[in-house]
Amino acid sequence: MGKKRDERGKEKTGSDRECNLDNGYVSPIRTLGDLSAASIRDTIVHSRYIQILLSLTIIGFLLRFYHLGFNSLWLDEASTYTFASLSIPGIWEATTGGEFNPPLFYWTEHIMLVFGNSEFILRFIPALLGVLTIPVFYLAGKEFADRNTGIIAAAAATFSPFLIIYSQEARAYAMMLFFVGLAMFFCLRALRTNDMKNWALFGAFSALAFWSHFYAMVMVGSLVLYSLYELLPKIQKDIRALRPIVIGGVTFGLLCLPLIPVTLQLFAKRTAGGPTFGFQGAVLIYETFRQILSSPFRFPGSDLVFFILFILFVIGVIQAFRMDRNKGIFLVSITVLTFAISFFLSYRIPMMPRYLIILSLVLFIGIGLSYKPVCSLIANRNIVYGFVLLMLLVSLPFIAGYYSGYTKEDWRGFAGQVTSLTKPGDLVVVAPGYVYQPFDYYYSAAEDGTVEHHADNGKNLESIRLEKGNSSMYIIVTGDIQSANPEGDAVAWLEKNARLQGQNTGIYLFSVN
């Protein structure tokens, strides 16, 4: 059975004690060696924190797996399917050949294709990792401050519209966040304990995050810089104090050795052309704050939700400085460094708030810490329950509407419309050409008896028109044409030669007689 606090040493008094949900209970599980069926059962039965965390994880599972296959695959998800369909060596060759995403997520999806290629199967791993990230938020928040901070951060992650959406997307964002969360947890633990094993685990999970998504390196680099700052007084006294960080760095370097030269080549290639979509500068910073704290999609009260959670984050940062100057510096420095790097990169490469999903860790931990000033005024554990409930309430308007309609382009329904409209011998043109990926996932020209073409500009479209003869020509266009053809001659050609037949969730169908 778990021992009481007075048997293990007294905890903080006053408001901290009154806001302790376990009311003095101490779990018998202190290390991995303490794990047993009896100790696990005792902890589950007596610890409110574990009970709430398990409940949040179950709720998170339901929110992430419900309607998982409802939306059609959109362009990026269909691209995932394209690369995952390659062989294991083929996926690596695609990365070295110019694919701007590392291969770990594609390899994982390749294995999942053994079970089928449905939308549910392709989104299963992100949804699962999205669920497992909930306890990771708890661990990181607990390590940063205390269990109350951890449980509120976990609640924020559970009900976050932003995290729900990207846990239901067949892309690497959920995987990156999961591994970055573990890297942050072990970084914080390593700074507290200076244990070599924790530093090595920090390096290992940082490497896994980097193999998942290149942008993880921004957060990893920020964590390393902060670690150097915190250890600087010790390093100045004894250079050997640098050894733990070196251990983490060597672990990371060895695991990422094949990927580092590829990354440098891809970065040079990606920055050569400049961004053709996304947000830039201050707009990127604002949109990242807004989307992480509310949602990529507007919903009733979303601006109010953003305002409330942003204020709570600011309060949490102030509280962190009051507790420990270094904790405040941690929250501010990680946020500022990540945004500063992103601000610069946004003028060189396409940048979207979803690439910065890793910042949700810092933002939600800051929000979790905002309970402390309230508990100092009202020393009652119900304050913590209230904050957990608040995380649910601010997300309810989103949850109420999210599952009732399409939030992505309906390529499934659109392909059915094209099939019913076309006749054998008709030409079906996809513009820009790479949009064939989501379209062909649902449409087969061979089965429909049509001839499919791809076009990226007005010259391509005119060439296809001249070859069509007496056949009807249908052109499928999305907003991506503006990025693929910034010169605008494709849109000009459509305005001159084609007639709009209709549109479905942002997919437009034109006809040329």
- Cα(157)–Cα(180) distance, rounded to whole angstroms? 14
- Cα(20)–Cα(16) distance, rounded to whole angstroms? 6
Of 373, 402, 431, which marks where a domain is finished? 402
211 and 179 within one domain: yes
Residue 268 has a pLDDT of 87
Question: In terms of DSSP bridges, do strands 427-431 and 451-454 run parallel, antiparallel, or are they unpaired?
Answer: parallel
Which tokens sit at 445? 């020209």
Rounded to an integer, the average pLDDT of 291-308 is 94
Nearest to 164 by CA among 129, 194, 190, 140: 129
pLDDT one-digit tens code per residue, 314-371: 999 999 999 999 999 999 999 999 999 999 999 999 999 999 999 999 999 999 999 9
Which tokens sit at 27? 């779990």
pLDDT one-digit tens code per residue, 32-72: 788 889 989 989 998 999 999 999 999 999 999 999 999 99
Residue 16 has a pLDDT of 63
13 located within any domain: no
Residue 120 has pLDDT above 90, yes or no: yes
Residue 15 has a pLDDT of 55
Q: How many structural domains comprise the chain? A: 2
Q: Are 241 and 202 in contact (CB under 8 A)?
A: no
184 and 256 within one domain: yes
440 and 396 within one domain: no
Domain span holding position 176: 47-402
305 located within any domain: yes
How far is C-alpha 144 from the chain's CA centre?
Answer: 21
Indicate the SS3 state at residue 487. Answer: coil
Which tokens sit at 353? 């708030």
367 located within any domain: yes
265 and 215 within one domain: yes
Least confident segment among 12-21, 210-219, 401-410: 12-21
Burial 20-31 (b: 16+ CB within 10 A, else e): bbbeebbbbbee
Residue 351 has a pLDDT of 94
Of 348, 382, 402, which marks where a domain is finished? 402
